[in-house]
């Protein structure tokens, strides 16, 4: 029998720079390979920024915002660069991979993937909706299949601040996570017309997780000078939670009636006017939104870990489904698939993580 694949877990500790340097040194080969691979593919897609210096410059424009928003995370970014043997521009580029999604639509210069694109499904469950009185946050993370080679989970013990469990990609600060204070955050990518220079999403994730109070975590998302659109599923173990749709300059809060799922289109009437035209070219996001919310609604009061794991395996509208798969004949560089799935139990402060598709791999429990 084939051995189930698991996401590697690495432990990091110390100052911000030391944590970054350890990250870079341990994952040096993967970070370098990830950088060269993702650069080549973005160069093929973005004909308006085909020159390497121009592509790096597009990402470099955010550096001033990053330094001001979180000097400690900027130090960690420098540590990753030094540990990996790449320069800081290359690491900023890797951490901007979802901001570069803003350039995929054809009218903005992208020429690849738009008709094949689908994405993540996230959820936020209040204690009143769960069978055991727990809060849960989680998501599938869907990208081109090759991204899964760079999956990693970081167990971070900081000199200052809470301990963290963070799912991410090699060289990237963080894509979602939970901290030792019971605060968790997950996301869906949304593409907004007001994308601009600003704070990139991995900085917002990590700064949110560095907070010890849920109100401060909320403020780090809502009041940040953001670079791009996103949906954030934010919650704490004491039952405070939000589904927060943002563009670069605007936000709206969606009601969570016990439990709420989200996909890759704006739901808020306020925010829909900021959605980039032709970002989505098919109805997959709308199917996933309806199916996931129906599963949650039908099980209010009885939602538990097993139900959420099964939700992430759903194949309605295959292959553009919650558990996303490639079309026949696609290679790893243009096939959008589920590269990981995570569920956070906020009361227990643990992560359940699955490498690639949860229909074929098992969830592994990872403790703080």
Q: Parse the chain into domains and list their residue ranges.
A: 9-108, 115-367
Q: Which DSSP state fits 196? A: -
Which helix H or strand E contains 243, and what residues bound it?
A: strand 241-246
Distance CA 244, CA 272 (A): 13
> How much is the pLDDT for 274?
93
Secondary-structure class of domain 115-367 per CATH: alpha beta
> How much is the pLDDT for 13?
98
Tell me the average confidence (pLDDT) per consecutive run of 10 residues in the chain, 368 residues long. Answer: 76 98 98 89 61 73 94 98 96 89 50 58 98 98 95 97 98 98 97 92 98 98 96 98 97 97 96 84 90 98 98 96 94 91 98 98 97
CB 100 within 8 A of CB 110: no
User: Do you know the residue count of the chain?
Assistant: 368
Neighbours of 175 (CB within 10 A): 25
Our CA dihedral for 152, 304, 138, 287, rounded to 10 degrees, sits at 120
Distance CA 121, CA 123 (A): 7
Helices (H), 181-280: 201-209, 214-222, 269-272
> How much is the pLDDT for 105?
44
Instruction: Give me the half-sphere count of Cα atoms (radius 13 Å) on the Cβ side of residue 237.
Output: 14
- The CATH number that domain 9-108 falls under is 1.10.439
Neighbours of 27 (CB within 10 A): 23
């Amino acid at each position: 029998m084939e051995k189930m694949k698991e996401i590697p877990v690495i432990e990091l500790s110390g100052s911000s720079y030391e944590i970054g340097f350890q990250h870079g040194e341990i994952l040096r080969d993967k970070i370098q390979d990830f950088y060269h691979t993702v650069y080549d593919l973005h160069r093929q897609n973005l004909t308006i920024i085909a020159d390497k210096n121009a592509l790096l410059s597009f990402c470099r424009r955010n550096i001033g915002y990053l330094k001001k928003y979180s000097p400690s995370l900027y130090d960690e970014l420098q540590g990753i660069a030094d540990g990996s043997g790449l320069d800081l521009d290359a690491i900023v580029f890797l951490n901007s991979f979802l901001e570069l999604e803003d350039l995929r639509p054809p009218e903005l210069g992208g020429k690849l993937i738009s008709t094949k694109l689908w994405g993540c499904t996230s959820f936020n469950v209040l204690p009143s909706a769960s069978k055991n009185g727990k809060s849960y946050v989680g998501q599938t993370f869907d990208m081109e299949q090759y991204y899964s080679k760079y999956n990693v989970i970081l167990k971070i013990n900081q000199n200052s601040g809470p301990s963290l469990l963070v799912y991410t990609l090699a060289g990237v600060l963080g894509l979602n996570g939970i901290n030792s204070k019971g605060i968790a955050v997950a996301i869906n990518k949304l593409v907004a017309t007001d994308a601009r220079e600003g704070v990139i999403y991995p900085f917002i994730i990590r700064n949110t997780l560095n907070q010890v109070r849920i109100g401060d975590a909320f403020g780090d998302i809502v009041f940040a000078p953001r670079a791009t659109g996103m949906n954030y599923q934010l919650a704490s173990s004491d039952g405070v939670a939000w589904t927060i749709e943002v563009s670069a300059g605007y936000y709206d809060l969606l009601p969570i009636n016990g439990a709420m799922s989200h996909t890759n289109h704006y739901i808020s009437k306020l925010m829909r006017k900021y959605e980039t035209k032709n970002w989505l070219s098919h109805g997959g996001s709308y199917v996933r939104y309806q199916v996931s919310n129906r599963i949650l609604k039908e099980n209010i009061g009885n939602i538990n870990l097993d139900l959420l794991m099964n939700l992430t395996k759903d194949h309605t509208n295959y292959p553009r489904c919650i558990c996303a798969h490639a079309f026949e004949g696609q290679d790893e560089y243009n096939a959008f698939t589920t590269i990981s799935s995570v569920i956070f139990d906020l009361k227990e402060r643990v992560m359940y993580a699955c490498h690639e598709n949860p229909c074929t791999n098992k969830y592994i429990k990872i403790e703080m």
